[in-house]
Structure 1
Amino acid sequence: MSARMTPPNQAQGMAHFCADADDGLKHLQAHVATTAFDSDNGEDAPKCHANTRQAVLDDIMNWIIVQTAVRIQWILWLNGAAGAGKSAIGRSIVALCLAQNIPIARFFFFRTDSTRNNLKPVVATLVHQLMESIPELRSIIVPRIQADSLIFTKSLETQFQMLIFGPLLQLQSESSTPQKTVVLLIDGIDECDKHDEQAKIIRIITDFVKKHAFPMIAFFGSRAENQLCTEFRSRELADILLQLALDTDYRADEDIRRFLNDSFERIKITHPFGDELRRKNWPAQADVDEIMIKASGQFIYASVILKFISTANQDPAHLLEIHGECSCSQYARPVSHREMKITGWCVVL
């Protein structure tokens, strides 16, 4: 009688294998959340507008390029109110790192996207990018996936250890040249759906960087919610954390004004009503000042207003007038991108 093979997902208490390297890669790819690092979703923040946020971008890049031998701060926490521009800053940092050949793997959490509002796809998504940035890791990681096709059902700590920390340490031990700094960027961790899961990923990464002399650093971005303040200000992180607070350490007003002025100029050049807008010397400075007041330092407000005003089949000057009729009392608190909705003619927060 011929032997009957038990499918890997049905076997109990046995080792589980992928047949070859291609199977291992396919198994990895099946668990990757592609929108968590390469999304064209209109809800996702774009990179920072040109020539804006330069101070915070410089501070973060200067932190990234610090030599391992003299590094003190291994974890960076960028926090700020919803709409302050944290994700745009994160995406700009990704672009800067890629341009400078700095290995970076990122995961952008998103509360309303079930493929990236929990921890299940995090390790696979980071691993996929690390193998792209550091091709030498492939020969270490893929056999580990082949040897255990259930690896992505195991604890987050086990996945990190087997597929990220272990392979990076092995590569370091086998290489005769110094390892480049590896950056893990975890944005919107407050949008991970469970508080205990938010704490878990912070603690796993913190534990690794404190115990091992490996040039891996982590950049977290989030709102300063109570549970995250407690975690990032814990004793374990006190001596290795760099905290950057957008709401207090950086003034966004001039950057928002530059963004508005550049955007209005673009509208006057590209919009069907452009000739008329240029003849009117539109917009008036008072209109720009009013948007600045209502934005209250939140890039997201200015961005949504510009998107509203630039509607192709409407007169931008008229839409800007309608916006001016909205009561400033509506703009009392910062909000998230998902909360901002254009209702009728007013942006209601």
Structure 2
Amino acid sequence: MNPDSSSKVWREGHSAMQPRSRRGGPEEDWNHSRTGSQVPRRLESSNQRPATQALFANSRHNSFFHSSINIVGGDQINTSVEDSEAGLKLLYQTIAHVGAFHDSETRYPPPKCHPETRTAVLLDISAWIKGAEADTQVHWRYGPGRGAEAETKFHWLYGPAGAGKSAIAQTLAEKEQGNHLAASFFFSRSDPSRNNPRFLIMVISYCLAIWCRNTQLRTAIDSAVKTWPAVLGSAIEKQFQELVVKPFEVIPQESWETLPRVVIIDGLDECLDSDSQRRVLNTLFGGLSLGQTPLRFLIASRPEPVIRGFFGQLSNCGITTRTELSDNYSTSRDIKVYLRDSFKAIVEESHSDVMAHIALPWPSIGVIDDLVQRASGQFIYASTVLKYVGEEYSHPVEQLELVLGLPLGDPGAFSELDALYRQILLSNRNKARLIQILGTMLAIEDACSVRWEELEPGHHSSGWKGIDVVELLLSLPTGAVMVSLRGMHSVLQIDSRIVEFRHKSFRDFLLDARRSGEYFIDKALCHERLARVCMRIINDSSDRLRSYAMYNCLKHIHLAKSTSNLITELQRFNFCDMIGWHLRDLSHDTSIYVSQSISVLQKYAKVLELHQIKTWSDSLQLGIYVADTHRRELSNQFLSELEVLFALAMDCHYAPLDAIFSRSALKTPGNVDVLTGLDCIISPPSMKETFLCLDPSHSRASCNLVWYFIDFKNGYSRLANHCLRTIRPNPRIELSYFLNCGYVYAQSRVSELLYRSPLDVELQHELKKTMPHLNGTKELRKVLLWLQDFPDAQRDIPMENTIRRLSTSSAR
């Protein structure tokens, strides 16, 4: 988000709500609301200022800027004032980095419609925004009875890649800012903050508070966040109810018509998966279909299957309309205007020195008509041509001749664009290095977009897309990337040593072997190469790229093509350092450390299984090795407590506590709460100096450490024993939250714990005493089958008859 514009909006909106007698300017209002703890009395009258100056008459080097000076004669009383709009501030801090607004600095310069173009489509959508009756074109598009667009809640603007959807959405947002625009959100596939719906509802809610100019709505949103700050981390469905729907309930419905009501969402197809796209539409539709808010949504996207299917199902409900970007809206005429004016700017402005002796008009009308025909309705084609022709260090006439000399090719939708992309790539002399660099950029972009909760160390990844990182990963000399990308500015944005693809269509071209031919990039193979590079960096303890390698190595392995070289290196690679790096911030809390380590190890095991390496999965079922980094001896009590902690963490991985307790009236407890309820009190020391490893033979530090094996079976046995004792009648059950937590967990998991435990006579006797108190025949059946493994079980309990009775009871 643009810091300047957003802070200005905040200050203006905040100042407008303050009493005039208290205001000394917007900056003072902002500072007042930000400090909010102690507000001293200020000197207001002019006759007090000389006294203030006299107070500092003999002092030097004093500077005062927006300062308040207290002169106290007697007792001073400071009054505590609640922080003004703390909820909105917290909401702003959460979304400030996203950059999804139409005027965000992150998107500068945004795509916009060229003047005098797209007039017809802009006029139609503007009519829908204003709720006015559409003209005859609308009736022609939607059929009889569909012209009353004021009735519709959704308007879908769709078309192929490069058709200009984002430019139209941007132009409408700028036009309606301060009028009908209530919020805007622009998705981006390459931005990890904007390629998923995580921040969508929060951005919309913040816009409603700031842009709608309604004090009640603003206060309601502020109060919602202050009352329940955790809503900022809730699911978007919950956020929509709490931050959008409920705040509108405080406003009389008769006043809804006076509010800005249009929310513009661009690039919904830029969400990384179809489930996210469907989830966004269902969330928005759920609130609007019930008439809970006055909002109306303009959604721009490519016609992806999920989005097309959603609007197809609603086509007969009377709440959606749509606009397809086709030549019905004079697209060819608009592209012609765009080309004509832009070529004129090249002649008269950017290349006036080299174009001074060129006969005008240039290019001829026939050439422009030819380019319009080749564009086939795609503005991105025209934009790419103009960037290529207008390259800073090129001659426009020669560049245009190259464009016009391209073969017409097949009449497919992308044939002309593909031919242009191939011509741009052909201008590079070192094709192999160029493809290697572009493939590395795509793989890095891929890795940065992957988000694994188990492996999030809070590291910011924006700097990893830089040219320096690419050169280090590929072992290229400094400056090699810049040299290789010369002549690529028409398809790449190169700024401050950061390289980004200008258009998604260029990515699509490179990744489609049918279209790009010899320029095809096998992204999976690029991930394979980077995975091996990262493993070498970690083994060599390279400082320059160690952070990148630690954070992204497993992601590259996950996305890599399985090759014999990769599998060989994976089998002998030491992962211990990477695991410790991911867990480095959790070692102060043993319970959290143990629980998180299981999640991290499981993620590693799952990734390695993709490459047919199952040793990690097998080892993780048995136990784990620990060692003290200072070669100190670990006590038996510490090792025993670790066995219980790891066993519980493994069990919770397969049966999460939130799923177990969702059927009870108790809130979901933590691991320590469950152990407390099972009367299993442990207090192991910090894991800060403890080293974890699944296989010490692969650890570089193994020869210097004393390893201890944590046997999960022993841990399961101890857990099962505590569960059995907890299940038996306890007079304190109703008196303690922890005892209730232990009881619910024990009833749910005791049979599974028994099956993972070794055959233990003590456990057998405990089970026999507990069987009458087990809930449900399903659990009883499981434990009876477990008892069958004991030689004396048949004498003590008639197993077959008992199971037969249970089966009969279940059938009834």
Task: Work out whether 1:27 is the aligned partner of 2:107.
Answer: no
Shift, 1:334, TM fit: 4.2
Equivalent residue letter for 1:92: T
- State the partner residue of 2:336: 257
Q: How does 1:10-159 map to 2 (within 5 A)?
A: 20-21=83-84, 23-32=86-95, 34-37=98-101, 38-40=103-105, 45-66=110-131, 71-98=150-177, 101-135=179-213, 136=215, 137-159=217-239
The alignment partner of 1:36 has SS state of coil
Equivalent residue letter for 1:266: A
Q: 2: distance between equivalents of 1:286 and 1:177?
A: 53
Task: Work out whether 1:302 is the aligned partner of 2:302.
Answer: no
The alignment partner of 2:210 has SS state of helix
Whether the 8 Å contact between 1:181 and 1:217 is mirrored in structure 2 is no
Task: Work out whether 1:216 is the aligned partner of 2:295.
Answer: yes
Whether the 8 Å contact between 2:185 and 2:203 is mirrored in structure 1 is yes
Whether the 8 Å contact between 1:252 and 1:297 is mirrored in structure 2 is yes
The alignment partner of 1:211 has SS state of coil
Aligned match for 2:240, one of 160, 169, 174: 160
Shift, 1:40, TM fit: 4.4
Higher helix share: 2
- State the partner residue of 1:269: 348
Cα distance change, pair 177–326 in 1 and its aligned pair in 2 (3 A): closer
Equivalent residue letter for 2:195: N
The alignment partner of 1:242 has SS state of strand
Shift, 1:236, TM fit: 7.8
Equivalent residue letter for 1:56: V
Shift, 1:238, TM fit: 3.0
Shift, 1:215, TM fit: 2.8
Aligned match for 2:408, one of 321, 325, 328: 328
The alignment partner of 1:116 has SS state of coil
Cα distance change, pair 29–202 in 1 and its aligned pair in 2 (3 A): same
Equivalent residue letter for 1:206: F
Aligned match for 2:249, one of 153, 161, 169: 169
Cα distance change, pair 43–178 in 1 and its aligned pair in 2 (3 A): closer
Cα distance change, pair 42–312 in 1 and its aligned pair in 2 (3 A): farther
Q: 2: distance between equivalents of 1:313 and 1:235?
A: 52
Q: 1: distance between equivalents of 2:388 and 2:325?
A: 26
Cα distance change, pair 41–311 in 1 and its aligned pair in 2 (3 A): farther
Per-residue deviation, residues 95-131 of structure 1 (Å, max 9, x unmatched): 12115x2232111111111110001111111122222
The alignment partner of 1:280 has SS state of coil
Normalized against structure 1, the TM-score is what?
Answer: 0.84
Equivalent residue letter for 1:25: L
Shift, 1:255, TM fit: 0.2
Whether the 8 Å contact between 2:315 and 2:321 is mirrored in structure 1 is no
The alignment partner of 2:278 has SS state of helix
Per-residue deviation, residues 13-33 of structure 1 (Å, max 9, x unmatched): xxxxxx844542332123215
Cα distance change, pair 176–199 in 1 and its aligned pair in 2 (3 A): closer
The alignment partner of 1:112 has SS state of coil
Aligned match for 1:188, one of 267, 284, 289: 267
Cα distance change, pair 205–327 in 1 and its aligned pair in 2 (3 A): same
Q: 1: distance between equivalents of 2:315 and 2:367?
A: 48
Which one scores higher on RCO, CA 8 angstroms, separation ≥ 6? 1
Q: 1: distance between equivalents of 2:116 and 2:363?
A: 21
Task: Work out whether 1:343 is the aligned partner of 2:425.
Answer: yes
Q: 2: distance between equivalents of 1:265 and 1:156?
A: 48
The alignment partner of 1:31 has SS state of helix
Task: Work out whether 1:199 is the aligned partner of 2:278.
Answer: yes
Identity %: 30
Whether the 8 Å contact between 2:182 and 2:212 is mirrored in structure 1 is no
Q: 1: distance between equivalents of 2:386 and 2:272?
A: 31
Cα distance change, pair 105–289 in 1 and its aligned pair in 2 (3 A): same
Equivalent pairs counted in the alignment come to 326
Cα distance change, pair 314–248 in 1 and its aligned pair in 2 (3 A): closer
Cα distance change, pair 178–45 in 1 and its aligned pair in 2 (3 A): closer
The alignment partner of 1:193 has SS state of coil
Per-residue deviation, residues 193-238 of structure 1 (Å, max 9, x unmatched): 1212211221222222221164311111111111111111114863
Equivalent residue letter for 2:374: K
Normalized against structure 2, the TM-score is what?
Answer: 0.38
- State the partner residue of 2:365: 285
Q: 2: distance between equivalents of 1:237 and 1:31?
A: 39
Whether the 8 Å contact between 2:155 and 2:320 is mirrored in structure 1 is yes
Q: 2: distance between equivalents of 1:97 and 1:121?
A: 22
Whether the 8 Å contact between 2:132 and 2:149 is mirrored in structure 1 is yes
Per-residue deviation, residues 56-108 of structure 1 (Å, max 9, x unmatched): 11111101111699832111001101100111000111012115x22321111
Shift, 1:168, TM fit: 2.2
Equivalent residue letter for 1:343: L
The alignment partner of 2:258 has SS state of coil
Whether the 8 Å contact between 2:262 and 2:295 is mirrored in structure 1 is yes
Cα distance change, pair 177–114 in 1 and its aligned pair in 2 (3 A): closer
Whether the 8 Å contact between 2:98 and 2:194 is mirrored in structure 1 is no
Unaligned runs of at least 5 residues, structure 2: 1-81, 134-147, 428-487, 492-505, 510-812
Unaligned runs of at least 5 residues, structure 1: 1-18
Q: 2: distance between equivalents of 1:133 and 1:23?
A: 18
- State the partner residue of 2:326: 247
Equivalent residue letter for 2:94: H
Q: 2: distance between equivalents of 1:273 and 1:304?
A: 21
Equivalent residue letter for 1:119: P
Whether the 8 Å contact between 1:86 and 1:221 is mirrored in structure 2 is yes
The alignment partner of 1:243 has SS state of strand
- State the partner residue of 2:397: 317
Q: 2: distance between equivalents of 1:258 and 1:248?
A: 14
- State the partner residue of 2:143: none
Q: 1: distance between equivalents of 2:350 and 2:327?
A: 37
Equivalent residue letter for 1:291: L
Q: 2: distance between equivalents of 1:176 and 1:269?
A: 52
Per-residue deviation, residues 278-308 of structure 1 (Å, max 9, x unmatched): 6421212333223212211100110121122
Equivalent residue letter for 1:152: L
Q: 1: distance between equivalents of 2:173 and 2:195?
A: 20
Q: 1: distance between equivalents of 2:117 and 2:404?
A: 25
- The CA RMSD measured in Å over matched residues stands at 2.9
Shift, 1:45, TM fit: 4.8
Cα distance change, pair 235–57 in 1 and its aligned pair in 2 (3 A): closer
Cα distance change, pair 178–323 in 1 and its aligned pair in 2 (3 A): closer
Per-residue deviation, residues 284-342 of structure 1 (Å, max 9, x unmatched): 2333223212211100110121122112222111111122222232783349x9xx954
Shift, 1:248, TM fit: 6.0
Shift, 1:158, TM fit: 1.0
Shift, 1:253, TM fit: 0.3
Cα distance change, pair 236–268 in 1 and its aligned pair in 2 (3 A): closer
Shift, 1:156, TM fit: 1.0
Whether the 8 Å contact between 2:354 and 2:395 is mirrored in structure 1 is no
